Amino acid sequence: MIVVGVLTAVVLVLTARGQLYDSNFLFLAEVPSILAGDHPYRDFFEWGAPLPTYLSAAAQLLVGYRLIGEFGLQWLFIIAGTVIACDLGLRLSRSAAVVMATMVVAALVIAVAPTYHYPKLFFFPVAVWLGWRYMDAPSVGLSAAFGLTTAIAFLFRHDFVAYFALAYVLASILARAINPAARHIRSIVMEAMVAGVVATIAVAPWVFVVERNEGFVDYTRARATKYEGAHGVFRALLDVNPIRDLGPAPAPPPQPGVVGFFWKPEVDETRQHQIEQQYRMRLLDERDPIGRLQYAVPDIFDVRLLELDPYINDGNKFQWERMQELLLPFPARATVALWLEQMALLVPVGLVVSAVWQMGRSRLRSERVPIPAWRMLFSAVVLAAIDATLLREPSYVTLVAPLAAALSAPLVSGVPRNAAAIAPGPVGRIATVALRVCAWSLLLLTMYAAAVWAKNMPFFHPSTLAATTRLAIRDLFNSPPVESAPGFLYVHDCTAPGDRLLVTGSTPFHVSYYAERPMAGGHLYWHSGWRSDPAHEQESLALLERQSVPFAISTHDPVLVDFVKYPRIREYLIKNYAPVEGTSGKILVDTRRQPTGRFGEDGLPCFRLAGS
């Protein structure tokens, strides 16, 4: 387990440079508001994960507003979850070698996993581990621990309560099945009541705060739409095809499209025309919102377009990654992700088959069902429930990678025992060899798929590994963090203490943190239309009207695009704000206030007082 923990830590550190992007700031987005003294459910509205935000705020206070606080916190939870998963695999398989092989797959997947998923990577293995403990020795103490952990998981993400409730109920049922004589209905009910009471007491203070401010019913209704579910994911097992999924990426059919870019200054007009003719690019009349030239191309997957790189800057809508895949003898990332998802879905199916087989054999022999069989059945049901509700797309396999990898170990190590039991003698030996070859083949193919998925990670590129790691360490320890994100220097340097930012976009979570300014309007989820009903819109508008908001910022489309769903707020913005020159409407400035200075060569309006 120590080796797996160290391996996971090394992978996380070596991939740190690639982790510093917008989505991984999810829990940091509200930290500036908390540190400014904002009151939750009055001054801002978290989306349904209150505890991680406060842990992130505590980490920032501990390290002095540096990114290492947040990413160190995420890494600790991921490492802990992976180690717990490894322990589960060792207990079931009793083969350290097999578990190490399966956990290599988990480590490779973790390398590309968005680290903001750390609560899932931690709490899913914890739910299985607690269930096993309770099945082995049910008690009031373990029930209380189950209730407390469920409450903590609920405060991390509200839908976690469903998985922990399932785990507790299933563990209670299986504990009675394991030892019916020792399990009385009275003790089962008492333990369940203890779990429920402990969980209720643990979340009661939070419920009280919500009720006193936003109102608990209103809170619940507003967050109900934030949790999306998956549908029919196990149908993917009907389409397993290693030749298709793990073979070289096939060339897609030609697809006309539009790309945008700026010519490099050294490319003169004559050379531009030569390149346009060579690659059959047709210049369109209009530029895109930030001024890039737009060209129609006959095939956006034409690998020859990669040759444009020395001549252009700021390319847009090019299929760079897909074209590079076509030049290499590797499968496409989309297909290896599908394979990884299918193998993860196969794990609970295999566990059920193995558990039922062991139970049936024990019954026929009038023997006691072995404990590992009950653990397999329990783990299969919990993992299947997680898969069925969360794997909305193949890339979401990252959410269950450590748990699925660890629980696959007994399916590999248990092949010889199970095959020999099916048919003793020569037939059994042949079955053993066949099943062992099948199990190891699937494991090796999955390891290959995970390696292909992670092939762009720094540890596969030794020549640049030292440089990328050094840059990551610099960025993690920079104070202020905006030194690593010069694109946000404008809003950081041109706002004063007490100012706020109205921030929108599909992934806007890093803006407030880098700018070190609280959010305006109560939340960041304008792009998805959250709280856009008239009552909640009015609540957000009232906040905006009394807050000091020099800028409104969008990370993707122009600001006003996201506020179509909020007509009154949009009208307020149109009346009182204007686009900052050169930002294509992605930054709006309050026209009611006079700049105190100018920023940069373009002389952008600045509102920061000298010395502030």
Secondary structure of 454-467 in HEC code, one letter for each residue:
CCCCHHHCHHHHHH
Distance, CA of 429 to CA of 385 (rounded, Å) = 35
pTM (global) more than 0.75: yes
Instruction: DSSP letter for 524, please.
Output: S
Residue 71 · residue 27 · CB < 8 Å: no
Model confidence at 385, pLDDT cuts 50, 70, 90, reads very high
**31: nearest Cα among 22, 23, 40:** 40
Q: How high is the pLDDT of residue 294? A: 92
Q: Is residue 606 scored above 70 in pLDDT? A: yes
Q: Where are the chain's structural domains? A: 2-230+333-405+413-453, 257-327, 481-606
Distance, CA of 38 to CA of 170 (rounded, Å) = 41
**Angle (deg, nearest 10), helices 426-453 and 401-413:** 160
**Angle (deg, nearest 10), helices 185-212 and 160-178:** 170
Look up residue 211 and give its two tokens: 């009720």
Residue whose entry in the numeric block shows the structure tokens 């006193």: 212
Which residues, 6 or more positions from 226, have their beta carbon under 8 angstroms from its beta carbon?
47, 48, 530
Q: Is residue 423 scored above 60 in pLDDT? A: no
Pairing of strands 597-599, 587-590: unpaired
**509: nearest Cα among 20, 17, 30, 19:** 30
Q: How high is the pLDDT of residue 415? A: 58
Q: How high is the pLDDT of residue 461? A: 84
Q: How high is the pLDDT of residue 120? A: 97
The tally of CA atoms less than 13 A away on the side-chain side of residue 253 is 0
Model confidence at 540, pLDDT cuts 50, 70, 90, reads very high
Q: Is residue 290 scored above 80 in pLDDT? A: no
Residue 194 · residue 147 · CB < 8 Å: yes
Q: Is residue 328 scored above 80 in pLDDT? A: no
pLDDT above 70: percentage of residues in the chain: 95
Instruction: DSSP letter for 593, please.
Output: S
Output 238 or 133, whichever has higher pLDDT: 133
Q: Is residue 382 scored above 80 in pLDDT? A: yes
Residue 141 is which amino acid?
Answer: G
Model confidence at 418, pLDDT cuts 50, 70, 90, reads low
Distance, CA of 319 to CA of 325 (rounded, Å) = 10
Q: How high is the pLDDT of residue 226? A: 65
Q: Where is average pLDDT lowest: 18-22, 221-225, 483-487?
A: 221-225
Q: How high is the pLDDT of residue 422? A: 54
pLDDT tens readout for residues 329-362: 788 888 899 999 999 999 999 999 999 988 888 8
Distance, CA of 310 to CA of 291 (rounded, Å) = 20
Q: How high is the pLDDT of residue 397? A: 95
Q: Is residue 252 scored above 80 in pLDDT? A: yes
Q: Is residue 101 scored above 80 in pLDDT? A: yes
Q: How high is the pLDDT of residue 426? A: 67
Q: Is residue 429 scored above 70 in pLDDT? A: no
Pick the CATH number of 257-327 from 1.10.530, 1.10.1760, 1.10.1140, 3.30.70: 3.30.70
> What average pLDDT score do residues 283-295 get?
84
**5: nearest Cα among 371, 388, 402, 315:** 402
Q: How high is the pLDDT of residue 170? A: 96
Model confidence at 292, pLDDT cuts 50, 70, 90, reads confident
> What average pLDDT score do residues 441-453 get?
93
Q: Is residue 27 scored above 90 in pLDDT? A: yes
Q: How high is the pLDDT of residue 490? A: 92
> What average pLDDT score do residues 151-175 get?
95
> What average pLDDT score do residues 415-443 get?
69
Q: How high is the pLDDT of residue 241? A: 84
